[in-house]
Chain A
Amino acid sequence: MPLETAEYLLALPEIWVLGMACLILVLDLFIRDDSRILTYLMVQATLVVAALITLAVQVPEPVLAFGNTFISDGMATLLKLFIYLVTGMGFLYARPYLQDRGLFKGEFYVLGLFAMLGMMIMVSASHFLTIYLGLELLSLCLYAMVAFNRDSGTCSEAAMKYFVLGALASGMLLYGISMLYGATGSLEIAAVASAIGAEEGSSIVLIFALCFIVVGLAFKLGAVPFHMWVPDVYHGAPTPVTLFIGSAPKIAAFAIVMRVLVDGLGGLVADWQGMLVILAVLSLAVGNVIAIAQTNLKRMLAYSTISHVGFLLLGVLAGTPDGYAAAMFYTITYALMAVGAFGMIILLSRAGFEADELEDFRGLNARNPWFAFMMLILMFSMAGVPPTVGFYAKLSVLQAVIQVDMVWLALVAVFFSVIGAFYYIRLVKIMYFDSPTDEAALQSNPGLRAVLSVNGLAVLGLGLFPGGLMALCSAALL
């Protein structure tokens, strides 16, 4: 079967990012340390051009390529664009932090680009093999990035934990996939779906495979009870890496959940719905309750991620197009909020000082009212206070859950969200009503300040006008 040029055109964004990552890797060797910013600019330019290419090669109808291992459709296009956006913001926030600590190296950005390539592969995969390989590419880059600050013990410890548990999760996923292959005779998502559809009832082997796949995905998403790595990794990793792990990969993880559970194993919806209900309820409970006990902001945000994953799963388990669109909206807006929140930690940090304790935000309003207001918007959005986008995201997920007559689940979600609102609002109280103990100036990088402001305002603006993004999400899933 000869390959057509058209197939390569469909994968042009991936090919471009791969080519540029390799090129930047080599060029970076010839750039002196004091002009390292060139590497950074090339990386950002790569992202912008990748976005343009993605828009140029998008197709109205889903198209398969490369022997049905690659799919180009609306969901892939939309999620890729947001992955570029979030990754670009993450790289921008990372720069002052890395410069202050002598970590501003080309390899950070090259590994970041490769990780992004992994996410793009996951997002437009239509074959279990591609999903697995994309996931491994992403994970491998993330392990190395977590350990990037080699002189820090906590970084190495976090990387080790992440690596061991990540490898375990990959093994689980792979075992489930191998069972699936045994039961259906194919690894193409469409072929698996039709093989499951042709079978009456669900065989025990398929359920066995499904269990392992759901466990593997839950590990990667960080859903309870497979969340043990999340707080340690978020806490131990350098803040820009935490920012990166906590944002864009969530979008890619959502994409593979959609591809695997909905597109591939949609015939087993009755079986995985129950599993996701357990994961979602536990994630909401554990994430929100344990976050209250945290004094470290990065740990608190890690537990908050766990609770947000619970919401994401709620949208998916509703099993309706509205639910999927709501979950997609939730994931994208959560990635924007997480980037902003970790960006604030970077804004308050400086050489030799990490502003990752709640105490470090004490009296931020007196030090800088504008950025205290930005943090207020981000925290309110995570808590789900109107008119921020977090409120609308939670509302649309709950609507989808209620539509399928699972009112009790919606009540549980609201109950734990109210508990969770406490620790977000506690941070607001610390910023506004306590007096500052630390008078040092914030990071003065103008790019960081400008984008962080836009980030905060976008969270507010999307909350006031969510219709556009929501329509895009619904259209992407058709």
Chain B
Amino acid sequence: MSFERIIFYAFAAILVYAAGRVVTARNPVHAALHLVLAFFTCAGLWLLLEAEFLAIVLVLVYVGAVMVLFLFVVMMLDINSAPLREGFIRYLPVGLAVAALMLFEMVAIVGVRYFGPDQVAIPARHPEGYSNTAELGRVLYTDYVYPFEIAAVILLVAIIAAIVLTMRRRPETRYQDPAKQVQAKKADRLRVVKMSAEKKQ
């Protein structure tokens, strides 16, 4: 067994374990952390496939940004996941049966018979000094420049839509206006009342 293969199986085993723990972990923070582990090992597998750009992006974007945000939300919201798990054992047989059936169906249709090594040629190894990132950039800005620009427009629309839907005046919300606060004078807040002294009764 070559060293590469050993690495593959090690990573694959960790990936399956981590993915399983994401679903079964009782504590949502543990589940999120296992998802981070799953992403890391997945990035390792992609490195083995010479897709180093995707591997780095997975770590940077998913682990670095998305999962951190996710962890923040999970820690702040104090989700009680116990009610969600009620009946886990009761529904387990049905769930397993459905999952097994779906797995069987998918394998029967999209398995090795149609996408195995004898159907699809094994990709050749890239020469030394080949840059995945440079190649991707080249294709993105030439062959796929039109879809690339459309994707940019979609992101712009997502920003516009988010602002349209969330930025509005809500009368019940209280705002601070620092400019107004700074301009407040003594006379606005303090009233000096003149009155004659009174004798204690």
| Neighbouring A residues of B150 by C-beta, 8 Å | 121, 130, 133-134, 137
Contact between chains at B142 and A111 (CB < 8 Å): no
User: Are the CB atoms of B160 and A110 closer together than 8 Å?
Assistant: yes
> What string of 1s and 0s marks CB contacts (under 8 Å) between A102-133 and chain B?
00010100110010010001000001011001
Q: Which residues of B contact A66 (CB under 8 A)?
A: 145-146
> What residues on B are CB-neighbors of A3 within 8 Å?
142, 145
Measured CA separation A150–B164 after assembly (Å): 9
Residue of B nearest to A70 (CB): B146
Q: Which residues of A contact B151 (CB under 8 A)?
A: 133
In chain B, positions 63-109 with a C-beta closer than 8 Å to chain A are: 109
User: Which A residues are in CB contact (< 8 Å) with B115?
Assistant: 182, 205
- The answer to whether A111 and B161 touch across the interface, beta carbons within 8 angstroms, is yes
Give the chain B neighbours of A50 by CB distance below 8 A.
Answer: none
Are A148 and B164 in touch, CB under 8 angstroms?
yes
In the complex, whether A208 has a CB less than 8 A from a CB of chain B is yes
B128 within 8 A of partner (CB): no
- In the assembled complex, the CB of A182 is this many whole angstroms from the nearest CB of chain B, namely 6
CB-based contact A25/B114 at 8 Å? no
Q: Is the CB of B146 within 8 A of A11?
A: yes
**Cβ-defined contact, B147 with A133, below 8 A:** yes
* B185 CB within 8 Å of chain A: no
- Selected from B120, B143, B153, B163, the residue in CB contact (under 8 A) with A114 is B153
Chain A residue numbers with a CB within 8 Å of B47 are none
Q: Is the interface of B mostly helix, strand, loop or mixed?
A: helix
List the A residue with the shortest CB-CB distance to B114: A205
Contact A107 B147 (CB under 8 A): no
Determine the chain B residues whose CB is within 8 A of the CB of A38 once the complex forms.
none
Binary A-proximity of B140-161 (CB < 8 A = 1, otherwise 0)? 0011111100110110111011
Q: Which residues of B contact A140 (CB under 8 A)?
A: 154, 157-158, 161
Contact indicator A130/B147 (Cβ below 8 Å): yes
- Would you mind naming 14 contact pairs between A and B with Cβ atoms under 8 Å apart? A65-B146, A66-B145, A67-B143, A69-B146, A70-B146, A111-B164, A121-B150, A129-B144, A129-B147, A130-B150, A136-B154, A140-B158, A205-B110, A208-B110
Beyond A111-B164, A182-B110, A182-B115, is A18–B153 a contact (Cβ under 8 Å)? yes
Q: How far is the CB of B85 from chain A (nearest CB, A)?
A: 23
Contacting residues, chain B, for A204 (C-beta < 8 A): 109, 114
Contacts of B160 in A (CB 8 A): 25, 107, 110-111, 114, 144
The yes or no answer to A219 lying at the interface (CB within 8 A) is: no
Q: Is the CB of A117 within 8 A of B144?
A: no
Bound-complex Cα distance A474 to B41 (A): 56
Residue A40 at the B interface, CB < 8 A? no
Known: A140-B158, A143-B161. A203 touches B146 (CB 8 A): no
A6 at the interface (CB under 8 A from B): no
Instruction: Give A132's nearest chain B residue, CB to CB.
Output: B147
Which residues of A, 182-211, contact B by the 8 Å Cβ criterion?
182-183, 203-205, 208
List CB contacts (< 8 Å) of A1-43 with chain B: 1-3, 11, 18, 22, 25
* A179 within 8 Å of B (CB atoms): yes
* 10 interchain residue pairs of minimum CB distance: A144-B161, A66-B146, A67-B143, A133-B150, A107-B164, A69-B146, A205-B114, A129-B147, A114-B157, A208-B109
Per-residue 0/1 for B157-178: is the Cβ within 8 Å of any A Cβ (1 yes, 0 no)?
1101101110010000000000
